[in-house]
Structure 1
Amino acid sequence: MALKSLTVKLVKLLLLSAIISLGSTSILLAQADKRIQRLATLAKIWGEVKFIHPYIAYRSIDWDRALINAIPKVNAARTAEEYSEAINLMLGELKDNQTFSFVKTKISNDGKSASEPEPVKLESGILHLNVLAAAKYTAQSKENLRNFNQKFFSLYEQAKSVLIDSRTGENTDQNILYDIDYNTRNIISEILDSKITLGTIRYRLHNGYPPQDGSTSGGYYSGFTTDAPVGIGKDFAGAPKMLPMVILMDKYSALSPLYCGLQSAGKAIIVSESNDLGTEGHTLEIGEGLMVSLRTAEMVSADGAIGFMPDVLAEKGNAMPAAMKILSDDKFRKPEKKLNASSTPQISQKDNTYAEMEFPNSEYRLLALFRFWNVINYFFPYKQLTGTNWDTVLTKYIPQFEANRNVADYRLSAGKLVAEIHDSHGFFSPPRLKNPPQIFLTPTVEAYAENQTYIRGVLEKSSGFRTGDVVKEVDGIPIDKILENFSVRISASTSQSMMRQVHGYGIFRGEKDSKAVFVVKGLDGKIRKVETVRNVAANDPRFNDFKFSRAAKPVISILSSGFAYVDLDRLQPNQVDSMFKMIMKTPAVIFDMRGYPNGTAWQIAPRLSTKVQPIAALFDNPLIEGKNISDGEFSGATNFTFSQRIPKREHGEVYKGRVVMLIDETAQSQAEHTALFFEAARPDITFIGMPTAGANGDVTNLILPGNIKVSFSGHGVRHADGRQLQRLGIQPTIKVAPSIRGIIQSKDEILDAALKFLKQQH
């Protein structure tokens, strides 16, 4: 019995221990998740300040360093308060008292006065206007609005001075704020004795993302813009002289442009307990009961001064007495205002490449992640086509970048990150390593057709490979797994683009003289094993013998069928006129757009159509304006959109024969744009072949720490009728998939299909 009792107790203890262990593990996992989420939020705050906060445009602030210093503090934060302090460590580098993190407080009605202050009253010759009380009163009915206006102007006739209390506190009721604006603006307009210019705002603007390295045809730019100010008041002589006016403000007060204009024109004295008024900005809830206030614009007064500061900075709780003292002091003189010129010199927005950091430390690796994530978040026009909630990318990759052990790990993580955008313009270009690993290849040239990897060329006949062999596995690894391992690090818009890129990557690479065992299926249908050695250098000149080329064919020719053929991959702009002379009387022309053109579409398309400048493509790109960022958003872009038209035909006849274009996965970007031009010029065009790569839009780029250049499509481009192109490609009218047997026999099955089609039409 004693033994049984002991056994039961032991089992209970073990179960309790297991439960405690599981509980501890759960707590640790929850803490890790919270830390990662905090870093993700830090990244978003850092990114918004980088692209929106006005100070970054003209003050010398090492914003990267601010992030680097904050990351360890966020990691170490045990409480929400410590987390907020870490954020403020970063935001403190701005030296802007309107940009900060704070604990969200609940607005309580406890102790609130039973009665609201009077909207308007006259005491001792001073006309008091409380804008918040007035807005609440006039919002109740039109009759209240009429009564309020009648009372104000009646008392104004009796008053000696005016005191406007414009303090609203944290009132975010948009209807109330609208009524404050409406009431106050109308009153001021009536009592002004001259016309004045109001204050305005200046803010940062980004039309697309200017490249960090080199130039682009996209026309992307960043700027610092000032809205044109407006004027109010009377514009005639003899208006009744305006009474002396004092305006009480807090940092939440609306109508800053109006009050700034009154101050600048010498019509009012501003009193406040805050020394920075009129801040344009917004607030964000970031979880854990925390908020972040971020400046998005700056006030510019009519006299060109930057910022809006009170004439009298009152001590806390002493604003009203200070205002009353001014109105009762006949000797009070408004302090002279120091002018901050609005033409503030801007500084370069080029990022530090940290080229010396081949393998950056953990904080700088996170900087790489945060930099890329924010650029894509704000400026990638195809973000909605990534197939991923972009927010989740941050939390997914933070642990990966932190876990990097060496430069190869870092570059692999960065490559996988770039691949998340699924854009074949997502070029990943790291510099050459100081001690690069020696990579050797098998004596084969790989390609992809019929949804299979096959051997297109053999460098050494004695190797045992035969052209046309379909690869099933290598070193016991199925070919699908090999392709998957390479695909995760390649940014591709479509599956056809992915396979084109992967098979140019040397997918069977390995250490020098290492053995490789292939299982292949020959054209005879038989499975066999081929053993080889990886002893071919990546730059072996024998590979050049297998590069696809149409150089043996003329660029422009009249085929035996009587149809014209034009190779757009090789046609040069100075050959276009002679091309039209040669093909003008042919019944049809085949434009071969397999490859990349030389900017000839702008000359050719006008001569394919009798239409006058039809729309060829629709463009858009993110347009980021500081003034349009809304509360609760980390990015709130509108789009800059425009239509691109085919140029006007300046000379030459219009070709009226049938038009065919040959396409496949090698057609990308300008090649696809050429297809759009020809499609607009000749809606009856016939596309023959396979879908194109599906990546169009003028390329731009950024640089990650370690001097890694990353590119992406900066413009969104669609068909003239709005159909999607990105991630789909130009779709063939007649689909023709080249066969492995046909390719190795040097047959051009797509061209053959085009000739067959045309013969049927004529």
Structure 2
Amino acid sequence: MKKTAIAWALVTLLTIASIPSLYAQNSDKAAALAANFASGANEISDYNTACYFALSGNKKLALIYLTKAVKDGFSQPKTMLEDTDLSTLHNEPEWSMLVKLVRENELKEATENNLFFNQPGFWESKSFKTPYRENISEDEKVAGLSKFWSEAKYNFVNFDLVPEINIDSLYFEYLPKVKNTQSTLEYYTVLTEMCAKLKDGHTNILAPDELRNDVYARPLVRTRLIEDKVLIIEADSALQKKGIKTGMEIVTVNGLPVKEYAAKFITPYQSASTLQERNTRRYDFALLAGSIKQPVYLKLADEKGKVSEHTISRVTPEERSSKMSYPAAEYKLLPGNISYLAINSFATDTGSKVFASKYNEMAQSKAIILDVRNNGGGSTDLKILRYFLDTTTLVDKMYTRKYISTFRAWQLPQSTMRNDNIITPYKLHLNAKPLIILISPRTFSAAEDFVAAFKAAKVGTIIGEASGGSTGQPLVITLPGHLTARICTKRDQLPNGDEFVGKGIQPDITVSPTISDIRKGVDTQLEAALKELNKLK
């Protein structure tokens, strides 16, 4: 039975994350499709089915389902016209009439479903967008806390992973704390501590631009927990000349033993879903973060145990990014004719573009290694996996909360909205090639979605360490003082229903870096992958 416009309007804000990953590759398209839930859900399923049949070459069935979607109220002509999945239908006689009907649906929806709470500014009111000041008012601080509490209570999808947390009790616990803060920086810090209690990597408080250099400045080094010791794993050339070398152990930070320093100044403010993610955040991403005005004092020990002292400066996030960021994608042919592609970000589709550009070379190689160990996410891009499939494959299940106020008034339970994500194969196939993917705790968010699909499709072997254990669609909200917050609204699962949020995706073969290999410049996990491929000869 078709849902009423009002009932679906209540959940419009929660539906963006429910668009299948096949279509979420285009964020504009996903958002537009999600908006259609305001007038009905059936047309979304039929629209997706039409796209599937169009991609499969069955124009007749594609037009049948697209017509059904339009009759059920599909109302996004821009999405339909720009959707490359449907490009093969453009020359069909029915196409122009369908476009006309969709435009009529759009006009009708704008007229009939112009509900007040869908108006611009209703959810993100200008009242909360107050400017940054060194110390915003107490009223603004309380308003910001209240908005975060309210949005989390109605939208956060992972409360079952933190059963010890009562969101209302947490609100009252932090109410006097935010009132007592003496600056916006201190207020941000207190909110960050509260947010960390939810233990979710996609639920965060973000500092205003005006405080970036007071919060996110870091030295030009990379650090990491290896075999229970915190090591320097990379330093820029200037610091290397000062004696800071790869493999040196961090003994103290600002006069405190490194783990004591992390426990006191770093861990309480890290929003993390798993132990491995928490270790990554506190010993890698955030360990040496702080004010650009304050240098960091380190005691380092070399492989012989000789201790040296160093004072190093922090640099702006922009400078560090320009000098220390990994390339979005990096391809090379390894000895033994093995193709290696590191995809270090899904912020763009660079990885899949590089893959496509190297397809012929990969097709001639003996095996392929994909490396997403340093991929912190972005927008899930599953195009690469489609080269390794020989049939349409279910790769992900997801759900989000569905809140209907009248159900609450009637004392009926709230529910969830669920969806299954499928991907279809490309005509170009590499599915006969041995395939390995390397993962780590830094494999996070959209990169975990990629690995989850890889695992579900059973296209290769996963080697490394458990992934971060956090993915989902964050809802971004503004807070007074130019602060921002994110709240996780979507929960992903493997196709069989197994959870990986709060756990991490487990590798088929567990391999961890060693201190000895770090100091020798050996990539422990890559070497393990090469040995595994040698077994297949």
TM-score, normalization by structure 2 = 0.70
Distance in 2 separating the partners of 1:461 and 1:626: 60
Partner AA of 2:288 in structure 1: I
Partner AA of 2:400 in structure 1: N
Structure 1 equivalent of residue 499 of structure 2? 724
After TM superposition, give the deviation of residue 534 of structure 1 in Å: 4.8
- Report the secondary structure of 1:629's partner residue: helix
Structure 2 equivalent of residue 708 of structure 1? 483
- Inter-CA distance 399–221: structure 2 relative to 1 (3 Å threshold): farther
Matching of residues 323-722 of structure 1 within 5 Å: 347-348=119-120, 349=122, 350-351=124-125, 352-356=127-131, 358=133, 359-391=135-167, 392-433=169-210, 445-458=222-235, 459-460=238-239, 463=242, 465-484=244-263, 485-502=265-282, 503-505=284-286, 507=288, 509=290, 512=293, 516=297, 518-524=298-304, 526=305, 528=307, 530-538=308-316, 547-548=325-326, 555=331, 557=333, 559-569=334-344, 572-584=351-363, 586-596=365-375, 601-611=381-391, 613-630=392-409, 637-647=414-424, 649-681=425-457, 683=458, 685-722=460-497
Partner AA of 1:481 in structure 2: E
Q: Percent identity?
A: 17
Matching of residues 65-80 of structure 1 within 5 Å: none
Distance in 2 separating the partners of 1:690 and 1:576: 24
The question of whether the paired residues in 2 share the 8 Å contact of 1:426 and 1:711 is answered with: yes
- Inter-CA distance 547–447: structure 2 relative to 1 (3 Å threshold): farther
Tell me which protein shows more helix as a share of its residues: 2
Distance in 2 separating the partners of 1:574 and 1:201: 40
- Inter-CA distance 622–743: structure 2 relative to 1 (3 Å threshold): same
Distance in 2 separating the partners of 1:491 and 1:438: 15
Distance in 1 separating the partners of 2:533 and 2:287: 39
Distance in 2 separating the partners of 1:540 and 1:666: 20
After TM superposition, give the deviation of residue 487 of structure 1 in Å: 2.0
What residue ranges of structure 1 are gaps of 5+ in the alignment? 1-199, 227-340
Matching of residues 173-188 of structure 1 within 5 Å: none
- Report the secondary structure of 1:472's partner residue: strand
Matching of residues 7-406 of structure 1 within 5 Å: 205-209=10-14, 217=30, 347-348=119-120, 349=122, 350-351=124-125, 352-356=127-131, 358=133, 359-391=135-167, 392-406=169-183
Render the CA deviation track for 1:346-392: whole Å, top value 9, x for unaligned. 54322333322533333332221221112111111212113532333
Structure 1 equivalent of residue 19 of structure 2? none
Distance in 2 separating the partners of 1:607 and 1:439: 39
The question of whether the paired residues in 2 share the 8 Å contact of 1:442 and 1:509 is answered with: no
The question of whether the paired residues in 1 share the 8 Å contact of 2:281 and 2:287 is answered with: no
Render the CA deviation track for 1:266-318: whole Å, top value 9, x for unaligned. xxxxxxxxxxxxxxxxxxxxxxxxxxxxxxxxxxxxxxxxxxxxxxxxxxxxx
Partner AA of 2:277 in structure 1: S
Partner AA of 1:405 in structure 2: Q
- Inter-CA distance 556–592: structure 2 relative to 1 (3 Å threshold): same
- Inter-CA distance 729–542: structure 2 relative to 1 (3 Å threshold): closer
- Inter-CA distance 209–399: structure 2 relative to 1 (3 Å threshold): farther
After TM superposition, give the deviation of residue 617 of structure 1 in Å: 0.3
After TM superposition, give the deviation of residue 541 of structure 1 in Å: 5.5
The question of whether the paired residues in 2 share the 8 Å contact of 1:494 and 1:727 is answered with: yes
- Inter-CA distance 345–424: structure 2 relative to 1 (3 Å threshold): closer
Structure 2 equivalent of residue 737 of structure 1? 512
Distance in 2 separating the partners of 1:563 and 1:434: 46
Distance in 2 separating the partners of 1:586 and 1:434: 49
After TM superposition, give the deviation of residue 592 of structure 1 in Å: 1.6
- Report the secondary structure of 2:443's partner residue: coil
Distance in 1 separating the partners of 2:480 and 2:163: 27
Aligned residues: 436
After TM superposition, give the deviation of residue 540 of structure 1 in Å: 9.2
- Inter-CA distance 442–531: structure 2 relative to 1 (3 Å threshold): farther
After TM superposition, give the deviation of residue 556 of structure 1 in Å: 5.0
The question of whether the paired residues in 1 share the 8 Å contact of 2:129 and 2:478 is answered with: no
Distance in 1 separating the partners of 2:15 and 2:479: 15
Distance in 2 separating the partners of 1:736 and 1:714: 32
What residue ranges of structure 2 are gaps of 5+ in the alignment? 17-26, 41-111
After TM superposition, give the deviation of residue 752 of structure 1 in Å: 0.7
After TM superposition, give the deviation of residue 610 of structure 1 in Å: 2.2
TM-score, normalization by structure 1 = 0.51
The question of whether the paired residues in 2 share the 8 Å contact of 1:446 and 1:455 is answered with: yes
Distance in 2 separating the partners of 1:755 and 1:224: 51
What's the RMSD between the two structures over aligned residues? 3.7
Distance in 2 separating the partners of 1:354 and 1:671: 32
Distance in 2 separating the partners of 1:201 and 1:673: 32
- Report the secondary structure of 1:641's partner residue: strand
After TM superposition, give the deviation of residue 755 of structure 1 in Å: 0.7
Q: More displaced, 719-728 or 530-539?
A: 530-539
Render the CA deviation track for 1:222-275: whole Å, top value 9, x for unaligned. 98889xxxxxxxxxxxxxxxxxxxxxxxxxxxxxxxxxxxxxxxxxxxxxxxxx
- Inter-CA distance 550–753: structure 2 relative to 1 (3 Å threshold): farther
